[in-house]
């Protein structure tokens, strides 16, 4: 029998019996696969620094040994195209022709042969303590020097082309672990040029089965490989999310090292503010959703009071306390009829201090045109999240191009509470990502955490005195919990009894 002795005290009770946990444990270095370009010195140095900083096992390191310009033959079209690594190593580009008609497969073949297959081979053949690495890895980290996009068609504002991020394809690698060439199934060869009335989807849209997997923020959904699946009508079968993919990339080696250093100490960050500057009329009256009202309500429910969420016309460029998050409409922000921010506003106009673990998520369609060029390559004169890392940020999410979901890049009302409660940064990002192949990008150390969510099973007789508790307490049969009369006991960050 459980005994609760509560004298003159009222609070919301989260009752829990001591059942066996069904969720995965908190991920560690053994769950991270690190991929780097062995022909790029900076890529190797980023890999080596991260491996040492996080104690990544040597078995979890994959060098890519052939990321050079090459002539790629496609047996389907019986043609050869020159594929080049451009934009300082960031893009896999078809230099022969960028075309919607015909849709060319050569750049995809390059990606599969020189990136996907080496990773898949390592995962399916490496055994650690009797377990294949493919079943142990949860996160794939692509170091600076590994391309992040495949360029086969001219630029287009939406997802009507094959210029997909490699992230979205590698996330699904488990389904193709024995034959990565079958990733070509995701390329829609029937896509016409993106002109109305065509509903153009060059790369099949793949919904994220991990999206909003923990709607009540129970902290029972730490990611497991090959666990979450969803039916995809394009493919006529279930699609399984195998791995969460992120990048360790920045404008320089030193900035990348600084990001790693900050990620390690993020768990100790204190005295910070969750910050959303939600201009109500972005783009001179347009609507770009930051989920600010929902975030406000969720944070209020969770007892997270260190927040500044503003929906007025005031534009903020500084704040008294350090920020753990920065979210705004970016260059779409207006004052009256005028845009407020310059394209380099993150460097030139924002003067915030960022605490270790700080994350950025702005509603800009092209805020990851680059991961690390300096000066940053831009499109549509928009800010780049790589500038945030230069100014002291730690992790970030964004878009390579304007996706089918418009301004909803990764949903703040899922991302921010999940991160606040103790999910790793990359888990929080993918929990808030509704689509895997819609040009979303996640950047930063996947093990970054800012809160250590804990659960404690009580035994015998225990007393809770006044205080703000951030632990979930389980009171099993035969235990007694006493809260004295007059005790001021509060629970925050989803802690409960």
Report pLDDT for 288. Answer: 53
Report pLDDT for 9. Answer: 38
Tell me, rounded to whole angstroms, the distance of Cα 320 from its chain centroid.
28
Dihedral, CA of residue 115, residue 186, residue 427 and residue 447, to nearest 10: 0
Read out DSSP for 107-165?
Answer: HHHHHIIIIIHHHHHHHHH-EETTEEHHHH--EEEEETTS--EEE-S---SSS-SS--B
**Average pLDDT, integer, range 406-427:** 89
How buried is 195 (Cβ within 10 angstroms: 0-12 exposed, 13-18 middle, 19+ buried)?
exposed
Length of the chain: 497
- The answer to whether 71 and 61 are in contact (CB under 8 A) is no
pLDDT class of 191 with cuts at 50, 70, 90: low
Residue 417 has pLDDT above 90, yes or no: yes
**Weakest-pLDDT range from 388-392, 421-425, 452-456:** 452-456
Tell me, rounded to whole angstroms, the distance of Cα 490 from its chain centroid.
31
pLDDT class of 16 with cuts at 50, 70, 90: very low
**Weakest-pLDDT range from 142-151, 402-411, 460-469:** 460-469
SS3 state at 357? strand
How buried is 12 (Cβ within 10 angstroms: 0-12 exposed, 13-18 middle, 19+ buried)?
exposed
Q: What's the whole-number average pLDDT of the chain? A: 86
Residue 476 has pLDDT above 80, yes or no: no
pTM, to two decimals: 0.89
Report pLDDT for 24. Answer: 85
pLDDT class of 145 with cuts at 50, 70, 90: very high
How does 380-411 read in b/e, with b if 16+ C-beta sit within 10 Å? eebbbbbbbbbbbbbbbbbbbbbbbbebbbbb
Name the residue ranges covered by the structural domains of the chain.
Answer: 3-21+453-491, 29-244
Instruction: Identify which of 284, 220, 289, 32 has the alpha carbon closest to the alpha carbon of residue 137.
Output: 32
**Average pLDDT, integer, range 98-124:** 92
Residue 5 has pLDDT above 60, yes or no: no
- Of the spans 109-118, 271-280, 480-489, which averages the highest pLDDT? 109-118
Report pLDDT for 267. Answer: 95
Report pLDDT for 189. Answer: 65
Report pLDDT for 77. Answer: 92
**Weakest-pLDDT range from 15-24, 89-98, 195-204, 427-436:** 15-24
Distance CA 41, CA 67 (A): 13
What are the φ and ψ backbone dihedral angles of 463, each rounded to 5 degrees? -130, 130
Residue 485 has pLDDT above 80, yes or no: no
Residue 216 has pLDDT above 80, yes or no: yes
pLDDT class of 34 with cuts at 50, 70, 90: very high
Residue 248 has pLDDT above 70, yes or no: yes
Copy the structure tokens of residue 382.
Answer: 């928009």
Report pLDDT for 21. Answer: 35
**Average pLDDT, integer, range 297-322:** 95
Terminal-residue alpha carbon distance, the chain: 16
**Average pLDDT, integer, range 245-263:** 99
Residue 82, beta-bridge partner list:
71
pLDDT class of 10 with cuts at 50, 70, 90: very low
Report pLDDT for 67. Answer: 99
Q: What percent of the chain has pLDDT over 90?
A: 67
């Amino acid at each position: 029998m459980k005994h609760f002795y509560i004298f003159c005290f009222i609070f919301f009770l989260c009752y829990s019996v001591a059942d066996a946990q069904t969720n995965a444990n908190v991920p560690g270095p053994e769950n991270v696969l690190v991929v780097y370009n062995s022909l790029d010195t900076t890529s190797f140095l980023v890999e080596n620094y991260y491996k040492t900083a996080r104690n990544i096992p040597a078995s979890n390191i994959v060098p890519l040994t052939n990321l050079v310009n090459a002539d790629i033959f496609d047996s389907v079209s019986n043609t050869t195209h020159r594929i080049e690594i451009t934009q300082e190593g960031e893009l896999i580009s078809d230099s022969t022709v960028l075309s919607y008609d015909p849709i060319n497969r050569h750049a995809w073949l390059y990606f599969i042969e020189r990136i996907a297959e080496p990773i898949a081979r390592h995962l399916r053949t490496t055994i650690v303590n009797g377990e294949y690495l493919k079943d142990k890895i949860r996160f794939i980290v692509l170091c600076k020097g590994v391309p992040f996009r495949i360029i086969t068609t001219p630029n287009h504002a939406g997802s009507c082309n094959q210029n997909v991020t490699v992230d979205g394809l590698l996330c699904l690698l488990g389904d193709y672990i024995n034959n990565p060439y079958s990733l070509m199934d995701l390329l829609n060869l029937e896509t016409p040029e993106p002109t109305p009335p065509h509903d153009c989807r060059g790369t099949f849209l793949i919904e994220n089965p991990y999206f909003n997997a923990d709607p009540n923020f129970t902290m029972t959904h730490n990611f497991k490989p090959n666990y979450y699946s969803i039916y995809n009508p394009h493919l006529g079968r279930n699609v399984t999310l195998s791995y969460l993919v992120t990048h360790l990339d920045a404008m320089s080696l030193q900035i990348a090292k600084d990001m790693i250093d900050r990620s390690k100490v993020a768990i100790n960050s204190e005295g910070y503010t969750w910050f959303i500057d939600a201009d109500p009329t972005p783009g001179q009256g347009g609507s770009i959703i930051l989920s600010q009202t929902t975030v406000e309500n969720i944070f209020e429910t969770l007892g997270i009071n260190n927040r500044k969420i503003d929906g007025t016309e005031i534009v903020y460029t500084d704040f008294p306390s350090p920020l753990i998050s920065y979210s705004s409409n970016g260059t779409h922000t207006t004052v009256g009829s005028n845009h407020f921010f310059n394209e380099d506003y993150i460097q030139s106009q924002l003067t915030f201090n960022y605490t270790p673990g700080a994350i950025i998520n702005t509603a800009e369609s092209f805020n990851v045109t680059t991961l690390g060029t300096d000066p940053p390559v831009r499109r549509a004169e928009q800010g780049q999240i790589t500038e945030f890392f230069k100014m002291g940020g730690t992790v970030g999410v964004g878009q390579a191009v304007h996706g089918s979901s418009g301004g909803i890049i990764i949903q703040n009302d899922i991302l921010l509470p999940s991160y606040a409660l103790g999910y790793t940064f990359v888990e929080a990002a993918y929990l808030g990502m509704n689509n895997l192949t819609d040009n979303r990008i996640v950047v930063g150390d996947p093990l970054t955490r800012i809160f250590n969510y804990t659960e404690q099973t009580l035994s015998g007789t225990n007393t809770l005195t006044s205080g703000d508790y951030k632990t979930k307490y389980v009171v099993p049969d035969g235990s007694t919990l006493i809260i004295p009369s007059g005790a001021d006991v509060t629970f925050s960050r989803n802690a409960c009894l």
